[in-house]
Amino acid sequence: MLLFYTVFLGSYPLFTPDEGRYAEIALNMIHTSDYITPRVNGAIFLDKPILYFWLQACAIKLLGVNEWAVRLFPALFGILGVIITYSCGRVLFDRRSGLIAAIILATTPLYFGGTHYANLDLEVAVLISCSLLTFLSALYSPHRLYFLFIAYASAALAFLTKGLIGFVFPIMIIGTWVLLTKQWRVLKKIYFIPGLILIMSIVTPWYILVQKANPSFIHYFFVGQQITRYLSGRIFNNQMPIWFFIPVILIGFLPWIFFVLPAFLKSISPENPIKLFLLLWVTIVFTFFSIPHSKLVGYILPIFPPFALLVGHYLSATWNQSKRFLFIICVSVNIIFLLTLTASASYLNRTSVKPLALQLQHIIQPQDEVVAYFRYYQDIPFYFGQHITVAADWSPSIIEQNDNWLREFWNSTLFENKKNNRFINEYVFWQRWQTKHLLVLVSANRLDQFRIHTKNYSILGEYNNVFLISNSSDAIKAK
């Protein structure tokens, strides 16, 4: 499994914006030795908690500045999720059910894709799943304390990865399950007070330190980025219809999706509290993420482990020669397809500008300034190894319309005591064009606008419809 999940991790450039942004944050932590306040291009970025950036920084320190290091922990979390699914499936059902469920989870396209994409969605999905599955297993295992310790610790780590949902989902799912099954005695068995102490000991140190360093953090993060983002999704990006996750699940859980309906029908029984727990898990998470307007594909990943367990137990209970043959075919086809897809990911990546960043490393001179013109290329600082200047329209009316890098940089001013000279408007850009040596990254659709102001430039490179241009004779000679 380790080979299956890691063989092509470093074979393709970082996808942007997420992979480039998060990799740069981790690299910036290493360069500045500030492991409390994340930064993007030198600007404070407090939209997400800290755990994932710590892990990425560890991987980069150990393995160097490369894509393999950036994607290592998503792959490791993916493997952890498969192991937890098997282990808890064995406790809750039987060994064969756990094994089938683990293989199903490992070979679903969306889950596998999450292990090869460096953002927070797969990690928080695995941690939430780990918390819920170990909690449920604690009720059916003689090793109750062991499982409960993992459950509470996983919830705390999920909170340090993505915020409130690390607590919200376990509370909603477990609470609803207890209400429906009337298993009030469960509450006496879960060591709630020691568990709460464990959670607080894991969670609070960073939140206290980051609040001390950035006094507006608590309100900005919990009210602005967590509650408001959920309740008022229209001011954020990725506006999607309420049914958005239906096709995501249908495609992302192939080919196992064809077994979901019979598995669900076989599971609907108030006499089976384990399956009811898994059904509630799927229903609550799906409903929760379908309500807001802002949606991303990876949000739905927490329902994949219970899906896999329900289907795994169904297949195990109805196992015969034909099902065994079909299972082997499905697994084999998915493995071949997924490995082929990741092997060709470099050709599918139309967002990276890695070659231009590497070119900048070769031609940059001490007097040169690198500027991104009206678009921030998230992977440039990671590959280039330096911060860059960003020229854009920073008027509030424009920023309010864009939930992207513009707003991220603008929001950083809430925590900065001084003006950041890396973020300039068009007027300042053209002043510098006349007085400094500039290396400018400009997209193809902005090049015509650029030409209105000047024709005194040279094109040094082009990749993915992004041009590297310069007004510097030194850079032209270096070309």
User: What is residue 149's predicted lDDT score, i.e. its pLDDT?
Assistant: 96
Q: Is 22 strand, coil or helix?
A: helix
In this structure, the chain runs to a length of: 479
Q: Is 294 strand, coil or helix?
A: strand
**pLDDT of 478 higher than 80:** no
CB 155 within 8 A of CB 167: yes
- C-alpha span between 224 and 234 (Å, rounded): 13
**CA of residue 124 relative to chain centroid, distance:** 8
Mark out the alpha helices in 236-379 (DSSP H runs): 245-252, 260-267, 273-290, 304-317, 321-343, 345-348, 354-363
Q: Is 469 strand, coil or helix?
A: strand
pTM given for the model: 0.92
Instruction: Write out pLDDT tens, residues 203-261.
Output: 999 999 999 999 999 999 999 888 888 887 556 677 888 999 999 999 999 999 999 99
User: What is residue 96's predicted lDDT score, i.e. its pLDDT?
Assistant: 95
User: What is residue 304's predicted lDDT score, i.e. its pLDDT?
Assistant: 97
**Helices 67-92 + 18-32 axis angle, to 10:** 110
For residue 350, with 0-12 CB atoms within 10 Å meaning exposed, 13-18 middle and 19 or more buried, which class applies?
exposed
CB 442 within 8 A of CB 410: no
User: What is residue 475's predicted lDDT score, i.e. its pLDDT?
Assistant: 45
User: Computed from CA positions of residues 201, 207, 212, 215, in that sequence, does the dihedral angle turn out positive or negative?
Assistant: negative
Look up tokens 């890098």; give the residue. Answer: 405
Instruction: Write out pLDDT tens, residues 283-318.
Output: 999 999 999 888 899 999 999 999 999 999 999 988
Helix or strand (DSSP H, E) at 98: helix 95-106
pLDDT band at 270 (very low <50, low <70, confident <90, very high): low
Q: Is 53 strand, coil or helix?
A: helix
First to last CA, the chain: 45
Query: Average pLDDT, whole number, for the chain?
Result: 91
Highest average pLDDT, of 74-78, 359-363, 460-464, comes from 74-78
Instruction: Write out pLDDT tens, residues 23-71.
Output: 999 999 999 999 999 999 999 999 999 999 999 999 999 999 999 999 9
CB 384 within 8 A of CB 361: yes
- C-alpha span between 337 and 48 (Å, rounded): 33
424 backbone dihedrals φ, ψ, rounded to 5°: -125, 160
User: Which range, of 139-143, 193-197, 264-268, 384-388, averages the lowest pLDDT?
Assistant: 264-268
Instruction: Write out pLDDT tens, residues 109-160.
Output: 999 999 999 999 999 999 999 999 999 999 998 899 999 999 999 999 999 9
Q: Which residues pair with 36 in a beta bridge?
A: none
Mean pLDDT of 177-204: 92
- C-alpha span between 442 and 377 (Å, rounded): 10
